[in-house]
Structure 1
Amino acid sequence: MKALDESVDVLVVGSGGGVAGAYTAAREGLSVALIEATDRFGGTTAYSGGGGMWFPCNPVLVRAGSDDTIEAALAYFRAVVGDRTPAALQETYVRGGAALIEYLEADERFAFKILPWPDYYGTVDGARADGMRHIVSRAIPDDRLGRFQGLVRGPLDHERLGAPTPDLLTGGRALVGRFLAAMAGESNVAAHLSTRLVELLVDDGRVIGAVVEHQGERQVIRARRGVLLAAGGFEQNAAMRAEYGVPGATSDTMGSPANVGLAHRAAIAVGAATDLMDQAWWSPGLIHPDGRAAFALGITGGMFVDRAGRRFVNESAAYDRSGREILRAMAEGRVGTPFWLVYDSRAGEQPPVLATNVSYAPTDEYRSAGLWREAATLVELAEVIEVPEDGLAKTVRRFNDLVARGVDEDFGRGGEPFDLAFTGGAAPMTAIDTPPYRAAAFGVSDLGTKGGLRTDAHARVLDVSGDPIPGLYAAGNTMAAVSGEAYPGGGNPIGASLLFSHLAALHMAGG
């Protein structure tokens, strides 16, 4: 890889969604330097099991016969997000995904497929219950990545559990891998690992490059057309989380280890405006024997209980929605850390959670850590998880009654398409009546912070007066999320990251 102290047209900081900006700039004839703070490419995107993109009416869906319309998708997105983010930004995202996929499919090195994934607010007008707004990259063998072979981050089981790295890249790793494969033979793309952003360089109000640090030495990369900041969020920075009021702990995030807000800090230092800095992409988190709560979805049975032994949320709801309800209950003092998923033994000892993001460790390890507990009776279970006996018994009776009726009158579980996504359409509630009774410890996890730099529809970073800062662009979790305080559908974070990285590069190419 090329040495630093260089001058290029475009500098891209971050190699998750930022790879779309690097690829686009190179394809448009610009020279590119791509820097990544860690020793692997891909950022948080590479951790995604699906690597999905929420891009309504894109060519992959159209070829499959989707009857969706951009107008319906835009009405849905606006209804969910509201006026928390600029309407022009929302429209750019909803309309822009199809054009991006068309652009990529013109290059034979990209290939996509449909992975049906229901929208997360299924009762809102315009929502798609059939999941036909969501696509993923097709898998790619690692040996097709040329000079980038063996350099894609993840998967999580490899990094956290020591599992072997698969030779076939899937999910988010495949998405990043295809961009890298497409750039591997391009002489106008320099890529630098273990290279972190220190500060932005400004001349007469324009960002002209950056000071970076590589192997302990500070060096300069000048950028004639601009700098794209796509370096993820600041979820791994405990001090920044505290400063901006982001709940949760760095140990429980699913973000890439170098996501400590360096790009945020550098941009703020040159006058950038920020928004949504107290926000993240939330989820319930199953606590593993290493003490970390990890993103978990596909809860097909059991019930969450609060300090009083009562249910307090739709356990099978879309993860960001349930995560926010959990945080609200925690803020009110009704829910502690950990809180418990109560279930029974009808399916064995493992909790009814199908997608844990990090694979289950051996059962004995959860038991030894006190994370999975059991008792012969509900009275005894209440004692071991420290909730009132009468509260838990009453809640279980009510829960079993709702199961028998087939309708969750209390929290609407099973009332939206996403609730049923892991059960083949069957109700995600089963009676708790088969001893021994069990409980699994949960906390709150996140997929990264979503607060960042305010941008316009070209991904240009805005200053505190609302004017673009010449030469500075942002995308991904370094950009204040286009979805505001909501999470409209699976593939929204990655989709927006790719699109605004792409649009930034196109704007630089046109300049």
Structure 2
Amino acid sequence: MNWDEEVDVLVAGSGGGLCGAYTAAREGLTVAVVEATGEFGGTTAYSGGGGLWFPCNPVLRRAGVDDTLDDALTYFRAVVGDRTPAELQETYVCRGGAVIEYLEQDDSFSFEVFPWPDYFGKAPKARLDGKRHIVPTPLRADRLGALSDSVRGPLATDRLGAERPRTLIGGRALIGRFLLGLSKYPNASLRLNTALDELIVEDGTVTGAVVEREGVRTAIRARRGIILAAGGFEGNEELRERYGVPGTARDTMGPWGNVGRAHQAAITIGADTDLMDQAWWSPGMIHPDGRAAFALWFTGGLFVNQDGVRFVDESAPYDRVGREIIDQMRSGATTLPYWMIYDDTTGVVPPVQATNVPMVEPEKYEAAGLWHTAQTIEQLAALIGVPGQALVATVERFNELAERGHDEDFGRGDEAYDRAFSEGRSPLVPLGAGPYHAAAFGISDLGTKGGLRTDVAARVLTASGEPIPGLYAAGNTMAAVSGTVYPGGGNPIGASVLFSHLAALDLLAR
């Protein structure tokens, strides 16, 4: 092979997988990060919190949290079951704290406790106070210098053209801190608009890759190995259809560059995959551009289907709500759009406090037929095309349950997460007097979670379970350690950070 250049480690992707690049560079290896788009951060940069689900990490210990790894592992295994290997689950739960300890040795990194209840509050050893979750502290953009304009997001900027804030928060702060850390090491290079296109195998070992920038292909030898952390394939409609991923590329929250090129390159050389029909789901409020975008933190309202009937716990964790919607769609019980019905407490604007993509002017939703207003429930039903008597009965039943303070039908408010946005009060809020409103919702996702099957060192495996020498995967390019569930906020980013870090540590031993 005629190589154009050589490094020790090549990292494809610039989201949570930057932890692998940072680890390798800090330990003295030469590193090249290739990012297919014009901005760093991947889906991680769009995360509102940038959270990490790492039980018993140093930040939590300093705060006096009394959790144990045994309890956390009991919870995780109870929720995930045997869908993924037990040793992979144990690695995720038990080794995240060490990553935070490693990062905090560098003043580029700073974290704080951000309580976020586990998503299965009735599972054994669930942490209802949310103290398995931390977030990066905000970062002033000027600390990054010229790099600050290269951090993806926020969504208000990318989709609506809003000015970028001068302080990075959430996922953008995490990406910014990794970039800040990497900037200390001249042995690390960062390349935008450069996509990994092909993996090179020599004598059974991945020795490098061909990357493409503006039509120019460059062969890069990776003496130690390659870490694939290039996100999912949620933006590739053809792959979504091939693997049976519900929803559409239009409605994903992943950035446009997440089209599965790293997946395909690895599959071509014999990598095994798992969970390829899975994603991180959520309800999606439909915006005037026609796209459904991840929405949570509902302070009122209820969801109804095309029959005017309520069908789900609206306040449940978003992935669980999304999966119920998908199950209903598959059975034909619910079609898109479904509707949020609400009273005039917040005016025409839906009682949704976290839309992720900011709302625009109400008249644009109304002109697009996405928001409707009527003086009575019967009139509202006619506007959204659902049976009037059924919708009246649904609202009456909902109000009856709200007055009792217990949702006998769907359990809204029965778990800690349901009450996370209402200061512990019941999220069952009865609809008052008219006028009444309806807002259209669909299904969104935070990215696909199917990918390359790996071992506990993040080494990519073949179908026979043998590691492919020189090839590693993390983040949404890796088959999710959580299987078909979403155990807690910060699980996707946490797994990306941890397994890219473990990959770098394994590379050091090569």
Give the TM bin, normalised by the shorter chain.
Answer: over 0.9
Take 2:427 and 2:251, find their aligned partners in 1: how far apart are those partners? Answer: 26
Number of equivalent positions: 508
Give 3-state SS (helix, strand or coil) of 1:391's partner. Answer: helix
Correspondence for 1:428: 427
Q: In the TM superposition, what is the alpha-carbon distance from 1:185 to its structure 2 partner?
A: 2.9
Q: In the TM superposition, what is the alpha-carbon distance from 1:300 to its structure 2 partner?
A: 2.0
Take 1:196 and 1:276, find their aligned partners in 2: how far apart are those partners? Answer: 24
Correspondence for 2:59: 60
Correspondence for 1:43: 42
Q: How does 1:85-234 map to 2 (within 5 A)?
A: 85-146=84-145, 148-234=147-233
Take 1:169 and 1:347, find their aligned partners in 2: how far apart are those partners? Answer: 29
- Structural RMSD (CA): 0.9
Change (3 A) 1:31 1:147: farther
Correspondence for 1:256: 255
Correspondence for 1:286: 285
Alignment-mate amino acid for residue 373 of structure 1: H
Q: What does the per-residue CA deviation read over 1:144-168, in whole Å, with 9 as the maximum and x for residues that have no partner?
A: 1245232111110000011001111
Q: In the TM superposition, what is the alpha-carbon distance from 1:447 to its structure 2 partner?
A: 0.1
Give 3-state SS (helix, strand or coil) of 1:508's partner. Answer: helix
Take 1:428 and 1:136, find their aligned partners in 2: how far apart are those partners? Answer: 25
Take 1:142 and 1:213, find their aligned partners in 2: how far apart are those partners? Answer: 30
Specify every segment of 5 or more residues in structure 2 that has no aligned partner in the other structure, as ranges.
none
Take 1:481 and 1:452, find their aligned partners in 2: how far apart are those partners? Answer: 7
Take 2:47 and 2:321, find their aligned partners in 1: how far apart are those partners? Answer: 19
Take 1:164 and 1:250, find their aligned partners in 2: how far apart are those partners? Answer: 26
Correspondence for 1:307: 306
Alignment-mate amino acid for residue 307 of structure 2: A
Specify every segment of 5 or more residues in structure 1 that has no aligned partner in the other structure, as ranges.
none
Q: Which region of structure 1 is more displaced relative to structure 2, 236-245 or 190-199?
A: 190-199
Q: How does 1:371-382 map to 2 (within 5 A)?
A: 371-382=370-381
Take 1:362 and 1:147, find their aligned partners in 2: how far apart are those partners? Answer: 33
Give 3-state SS (helix, strand or coil) of 2:300's partner. Answer: coil
Q: How does 1:71-82 map to 2 (within 5 A)?
A: 71-82=70-81
Give 3-state SS (helix, strand or coil) of 1:12's partner. Answer: strand
Alignment-mate amino acid for residue 96 of structure 2: G
Alignment-mate amino acid for residue 297 of structure 1: L
Runs of 4+ in 1 over 2 A off after TM superposition: 146-149
Give 3-state SS (helix, strand or coil) of 1:466's partner. Answer: coil
Q: In the TM superposition, what is the alpha-carbon distance from 1:325 to its structure 2 partner?
A: 0.3
Instruction: Tell me the percent identity.
Output: 64
**Alpha-carbon contact 1:146-1:181 (below 8 Å) kept:** no
Give 3-state SS (helix, strand or coil) of 1:145's partner. Answer: helix
**Alpha-carbon contact 1:58-1:98 (below 8 Å) kept:** yes
Q: What does the per-residue CA deviation read over 1:88-132, in whole Å, with 9 as the maximum and x for residues that have no partner?
A: 000000001100000011112111001110000011111111110
Alignment-mate amino acid for residue 307 of structure 1: Q
Q: How does 1:364-403 map to 2 (within 5 A)?
A: 364-403=363-402
Q: What does the per-residue CA deviation read over 1:407-434, in whole Å, with 9 as the maximum and x for residues that have no partner?
A: 0000000111111111111111211232
Give 3-state SS (helix, strand or coil) of 2:21's partner. Answer: helix
Q: What does the per-residue CA deviation read over 1:273-300, in whole Å, with 9 as the maximum and x for residues that have no partner?
A: 0000000000000001111000000112
Take 1:346 and 1:46, find their aligned partners in 2: how far apart are those partners? Answer: 33
Normalised TM-score (structure 2): 0.99
Take 2:151 and 2:188, find their aligned partners in 1: how far apart are those partners? Answer: 17
**Alpha-carbon contact 2:13-2:36 (below 8 Å) kept:** yes
Normalised TM-score (structure 1): 0.98
Take 1:313 and 1:185, find their aligned partners in 2: how far apart are those partners? Answer: 49
Q: Which region of structure 1 is more displaced relative to structure 2, 430-439 or 310-319?
A: 430-439
**Alpha-carbon contact 1:16-1:42 (below 8 Å) kept:** yes
Give 3-state SS (helix, strand or coil) of 2:425's partner. Answer: coil
Correspondence for 2:463: 464
Matched, 1:407 2:406: yes
Q: What does the per-residue CA deviation read over 1:54-88, in whole Å, with 9 as the maximum and x for residues that have no partner?
A: 00000000000000000000000000000000000
Q: How does 1:266-277 map to 2 (within 5 A)?
A: 266-277=265-276
Give 3-state SS (helix, strand or coil) of 1:66's partner. Answer: coil
Alignment-mate amino acid for residue 130 of structure 1: D
Take 1:43 and 1:276, find their aligned partners in 2: how far apart are those partners? Answer: 20
**Alpha-carbon contact 2:26-2:185 (below 8 Å) kept:** no
Q: In the TM superposition, what is the alpha-carbon distance from 1:355 to its structure 2 partner?
A: 0.6
**Alpha-carbon contact 1:456-1:462 (below 8 Å) kept:** yes
